[in-house]
Every structure is written in C-alpha cells, then in structure tokens.
Amino acid sequence: MKTQSGGDSETAGDLMASSLFAVGRIWQGEPCSGKLVSTLALTPTLSPGEREKPPRATQVPGSWLPAPSFLFLLQQPQEELNRPHCVKADDDSPSPGGEGRGEGGPNHHRPGGATVDSLLAPVKTVESKFIKGLRPFVCTHLAAVLVSLAPQSAAATAPTFLHTQGQDIVNERGEKILLRGVSLGNWMLPEGYMWKFGREGDRPRKIEKLVNDLIGPENGKRFWSEFRQHYITEADIKSVADLGFNSVRPALNSRLFISESGTSIGAEEGFLLLDNLVAWCKTRGLYVIIDLHGAPGGQTGQNIDDSPNNQPELFMETKYQDQLVSLWQAIVRRYKDEPTVAGYDLLNEPLPEQTGAAKKYKAQLEPLYQRVTKAIREIDSKHIIILEGADWSNDWSVFSEPFDKNLVYQFHYYCWANPAVLTSIQRFLDDRKRFNAPVWVGEIGEKENAIHWATTEYLEANNIGWSFWPWKKMDTRNTSCSIKLPAQWAVVTAYSRDGEKPSREIAQRAFDELLINIRLENCVFFPDVVNAMLRRAPGRIEGENYGQDGYNKSYFVSDTNRLSKYYRQSEPVAITGRETAHPKESDQNITLHAKEWTAYTITSDSAKDYQVTIKVKATDGPAAAQLISGNQVRQLTITQNTWQEIKLNALTLKRGTNRLKFLVTSGVADLDWIELSPAEKSQPVAQGRSPVLPR
C-alpha cells in the first residue's frame, strides 16, 4: 500500500517534527531561538549523494532548516547534535530559497491549537543536568509519541485484523489480502554471512563475542544499542510502504525478549524495538508478521537461530519448550488487540534434514505447534498462526490436519540450482487443497533479478503471497538496499576467520563507521531489484519470464511435446540455460520459430512512455519479429547470429497492468531480454545502481 502525504498531514507532521527537534536541542542543554521546522519522515528521504551536498533548505514562514528526517537528527551522536543545525532567519532578510518571513502562520499550530512555544515552555524550566540524564530515554520514546500523534494520510489504509477464509487470507471487510513484503533480517538477529564473517562470527552470540573482543564490553554494549536503533528506523518503513509493499517480517531472537535461564520475560529492548516497528507500520498501512527466528535453545541447531551448542535443544529439553510457550504468551498479550500484526510465525525453518535433526525430532514438531497454539488461544482468538514445515520449512509431511480454524502454512522458496531451475510448488498446492487453508512463502530472494521476477509471478499466479529476504544487507547487489563496507572492515572479517587481531582503535573506527553506514540514507538503493520482484517498469523482462497462464495465453509454440531442459522444465518453450561463475546469478534465453510467441505482463505506476531495448540474435539466417502492446506494434529485423541490442521506438504503457507480446514473424530468433527505460533517458537503467532512495 502506498502512502502519499496530503497537505494537512504534511503541515501537522512538519510541526510535530519541529517540536521534536527543538526539544532535542534543549535536551542537549542548547536552546535554539526562533521557530524551528524540520521534515518528518513522511517527506522524501535524502540519498547519500544529496547528503554529501550542501544542505537544501525547506522554506517556511520566518525560518529555515536543512531538511533531513527528524529521526536522523535524533539518532546522531552527541557531537553531531551539538553542531548548529538550526539557523534563524533575520526578519529583514529573506530565507534561503524564498521571501517568507515573520513569526505567524498556520504551520505553527498542531492539531488541538498548541503552538511550538507552548509545547516547549514546560521543558525550558527543567534543570539542564537533569534533562541530559533523561536524554537517551526521551530520544527513543518522544519520537514514538509524536509519530503516533501524526495524522495518517488519506492514502494509507489502516490495517484491519486478518483471518483465513478457505484458501485465502482476508481482512475484516472480506477483501482478499496477498501479503507481499520484505523480511527485516539481521536487525534483531544478526546473521554472520550478512557481515562477511567466518566461523567465529556466524551467529549472534559469536558476533557479540567478536565485538567485545575487539572493542571491549562497554563499547560493545553501546554498539549493539545503536545498531538496533539505526538498522531499521521509521525511514525504512516509510520506504517499504512507498515502494508498494504491504508487509514486513521482522526476524526475532528470543534472547532480546527472554534470558536464556528463562527468568526475564518482557525484557524491554526487544519489545521496545517491536513496539516501534508496529507503530510505524500502523501509520503506513503495513502488516507485521512476527517471526521467531531464534527460539529458546535453538530450533535448528544451526547458526541461523543462534544455537548455543549446534543442537536443536528446543526439541531436546522441556525447559526450552516451556520458555517458548511463555515467550509467545508474552508477545501475544502485548499485541492481541493490534490489527497491524498479521500473524504469529511460530518457528523459523525448524529441524534441517542435513544435520539429522529432522529425522530425530520432526515427530515432535506438530505437537509443539499444537501446544503453543493452545497457549496463544487462551489469550488471543483473533490472530493468524503461521506454521512452517521441517527442513528449512519445506517438509510438510509433519502436518496431519489443521488443528485451528485460523492457520496459514508456510514454505520458503529459493532457487539454488546452477543453471537455474524454477522448482515446482505443486506439492504445496496439493497440501493447500487438502488442508483448505492459505499458503504463504516467508522467504524468497538471495539470487538475482531474473529469479526475483519469476518467483513472485509464479507464486502470485497461484494465489500465494511472499516476503523478500532481506530488506538490506552489506555490500550486495541483490537486495533493495546495500550497506557500504566500512573502510577497515577487511581486518575485522579476517579476525572472524582466525586472522590477526586488529588494534582496538582500528576495530572501533570500523564499527563506528558501520553504525553510520547502516542508516537508510547512507545505503545504496537498487530500484531494479524492487521493480523486478514487483514486476513493474522501468525494468528488464527476461525472455524466459513469460507469463504463468499457460499455452495460448502466455505462450504459443508449434511443438508442445518437447519440454524445456532448463529453467521451466514442465513447459514446451525452448529455454537454454548456462552455468554461471557466481551461484547467485543465472543466464537463460529462449528460442522461438516463425509464428511462435511469448507474452509478458508488466505494471506501470502511471501512463508513461518507455524507451524499449531488446537483446536478440538470429539463428540459421536472418529473422524478423514484432513487439506488440495493445495497438502498438514495433518491428525488428534481426540479421546477426551474435547478440545485439536493438533500440525500438518508445512504447506507451497505461497505468496498471500491461501485456507485451514478442512474436517471431520469420526465421528463428533467440530472445535474451526486453528492457523498458524512462523515455527521457537515453541509457538503460534497469540494471543500474542508484544512490537515490525511494520517494
């Protein structure tokens, strides 16, 4: 669901942000005079490139202020907040960028009639030393309070409770909801591979030990507090919503909510992080799927669940199962009346087969699910409960019949084969019919755009929603956002692989830089990754990613008896697949003879002209083809038997879903891809990186 801020919402949001910023300055013991107006996270987030430029000014009556998000300001280190962020314009001189002056105007009032000065008056009377002592508490909680007061824009539909209805997930109005979102991995449960770490940093507890070894326990404690504060912020959630997703799946580590002895249910850090997330998502109209990624004792015996002893001790010791029940009850008590929470994902990827854990313990899985569900239903009868199979969630032989009327079954879909293969999901569809319950895919991704496009189209064609793993990751090209490597990161990663220990000073600089780099405004954004999974323009459509509607609808070929050897192996379109040097890449093309065709769907956010480039080659002599969209026909003459990129006249796409048809009219042609770029830009952008964050 997209959130577009209206005028009233922006005015109120600006004022609340201004109040918050002013309070933050006073919290530093440095009151700022004049009216201070900042920009709430409802406004476009600045790109890293823009961050490096001189501050841009937002014109308001009587004053000006550079326009970063207010959360960015709150999250700055002490020395950053002590810089003169605010400058009051003289009454006799124009504000930068315009002529507005003076103290009055409607923007100085928030709903209810309170002015900035009236909001700040009580604060200014408090002793500076006392205020400074409260600064950490206020910076965290005042932001959430003011955000909760901000009026929702008209375009953001408040979430309502979801429930199952046959094989669909529906809201309280009976409307079918296909959950399409991103997973917030590496935030509350760091995973070593996302840090480029080796064996000594492959899971949260080992990463924590490594950090403590390098910079000391006190600095380590500060690092983790700031890491969790900045890794996912309201700016991230705004971007997720603006990009068109409707849900997030945060991966939780039980150790942020309960001690390993099981004595401290309700540990504040984990719940405060989750509370903030739910509040941000509620404002943006996003659903939250609470994913217990690391259960007490560990449900996999692998690094991904923070297992202490490389054993699935959740299934080996009753005390951990008791802790699991208590933890879920604590979570449920907190969110039982919150419709923003879509459901409870009880255990992530339990009991892998490769370690022998599935064989030993999978008979216990469904009974444990039944026990946890019963405990949840004592408190909460509304929310969906989500069950994952054994062996990375994909072994559903553990399930008998649905034991609750509001269950969703989950599997994970990764295409690891090289050359790539779109693995069949038929067995899950068969079980869905048997259970008469919805199916959802909790994780996709970790590949490249061709697979991202194909995966979401395949799932959605079968009425299955999905969550992309993960939202951001370090030094990557296959996620929405990439975190830049700190300058000294190589020596830190070497230490995680039994390399030489860097000095504390070098390590501290690396971790301090990481805390800056993880913030959304400093990440590199890849719009092509997002557009691939949402299958929208501008973007690149791979030839093999024709539609999922079958013969004579998504493709036509003369010989339907010869199935493809590669990629889509149950269909007769000839696909050639090649092994790639990098396992997360894929390389395919299709071959069509005269009168054969393939059809593709792509969405556009508005009616717009797009430049079209097609990568093709002829086989056995010259070939000719057409690209057709509605009544628009573009002719191609293909003369070379080596790959060539042919630019066509622009196509106009309508707002919403568009159908493109590639028809070979003579000869034999190979199609690699069709790329649609903004018509005003001369160079293709579908595979290019962009520092500009979504607006």
With contact defined as beta carbons under 8 Å apart, do 614 and 658 qualify? no
Do 314 and 349 lie in a common domain?
yes
Strands 656-678 and 587-593: antiparallel
Q: What is the pTM of this model?
A: 0.78
pLDDT of residue 237: 98
CA pair distance 653, 207, nearest whole angstrom? 48
pLDDT of residue 584: 83
Residue 460, sorted as left (phi over 0), alpha (psi -120 to 50) or beta, turns out to be alpha
Do 108 and 242 lie in a common domain?
no
Mean pLDDT of the chain: 81
Say whether pLDDT at 109 is over 50: no
pLDDT of residue 101: 27
Q: What percent of the chain has pLDDT over 70?
A: 75
Do 134 and 177 lie in a common domain?
no
Phi and psi of 562, rounded to 5°?
-95, 110
Phi and psi of 225, rounded to 5°?
-60, -45
Run of H or E residues at 609: strand 608-629
Range among 26-40, 118-132, 261-275, 473-487 with highest mean pLDDT value: 473-487
Say whether pLDDT at 42 is over 70: no
Do 440 and 580 lie in a common domain?
no
Do 97 and 244 lie in a common domain?
no
How far does Cα 112 stand from its chain's mean position? 36
Residue 299 is classified by DSSP as S
Task: Read off the CATH number of the domain in which 568 is found.
Answer: 2.60.120.260
Query: How confident is residue 265, by pLDDT bands cut at 50, 70 and 90?
Result: low
Residue 177 in any domain: the answer is yes
SS (H, E, C) 141-178: HHHHHHHHHCCCCCCCCCCCCCEEECCEEECCCCCECC
CA pair distance 547, 551, nearest whole angstrom? 10
Angle between helices 128-149 and 268-284 (to 10 degrees): 40
470 Cβ contact list (under 8 Å, min separation 6):
182, 183, 184, 185, 186, 194, 445, 479
Q: Quick one: tokens of 671?
A: 């199609």
CA pair distance 229, 234, nearest whole angstrom? 10
Mean pLDDT of 507-536: 98
Say whether pLDDT at 29 is over 60: no
Do 239 and 361 lie in a common domain?
yes
Residue 629 in any domain: the answer is yes
Residue 531 in any domain: the answer is no
CA pair distance 533, 105, nearest whole angstrom? 45
pLDDT of residue 495: 98
pLDDT of residue 267: 62
Residue 65 in any domain: the answer is yes
Do 261 and 117 lie in a common domain?
no
Do 266 and 391 lie in a common domain?
yes
Do 111 and 256 lie in a common domain?
no
- Number of domain units in the chain: 3
Residue 304 in any domain: the answer is yes
Q: How many CB atoms are closer than 10 A to CB 531?
A: 24
Q: Quick one: tokens of 294?
A: 């690391």
Strands 287-294 and 539-542: unpaired
Do 244 and 122 lie in a common domain?
no
Do 182 and 127 lie in a common domain?
no
Q: Look at 211-220, 257-266, 362-371, 626-635 and tell me which has the smallest mean pLDDT.
A: 257-266
With contact defined as beta carbons under 8 Å apart, do 366 and 398 qualify? yes
CA pair distance 549, 677, nearest whole angstrom? 26
- Lookup result for tokens 């507890």: 205
pLDDT of residue 264: 66
Say whether pLDDT at 119 is over 50: no
> What are the tens digits of pLDDT across the range 380-435?
999 999 999 999 999 999 999 999 999 999 999 999 999 999 999 999 999 999 99
Say whether pLDDT at 576 is over 70: yes
CA dihedral sign of residues 534, 536, 542, 544 = positive
Q: Quick one: tokens of 32?
A: 């700022």
- Report the length, in residues, of the chain: 695
Q: Quick one: tokens of 559?
A: 């010989």
> What are the tens digits of pLDDT across the range 74-100?
333 333 333 333 332 333 332 333 323
Say whether pLDDT at 684 is over 80: no
How deeply is 570 buried, as exposed, middle or buried, from its count of CB atoms within 10 A (0-12, 13-18, 19+)? exposed
pLDDT of residue 681: 55
> What are the tens digits of pLDDT across the range 164-200?
999 999 999 999 999 999 999 999 999 999 999 999 9
Do 124 and 182 lie in a common domain?
no
Q: Give me the helices (H) in 62-127, please.
A: 70-74, 78-81, 116-124
Residue 256 in any domain: the answer is yes
With contact defined as beta carbons under 8 Å apart, do 298 and 306 qualify? yes
Residue 322 in any domain: the answer is yes
Q: Which domain holds residue 368?
A: 172-187+232-414+431-446+461-470
Query: How confident is residue 157, by pLDDT bands cut at 50, 70 and 90?
Result: confident
pLDDT of residue 156: 72
Residue 227 in any domain: the answer is no
Task: Read off the CATH number of the domain in which 352 is found.
Answer: 3.20.20.80
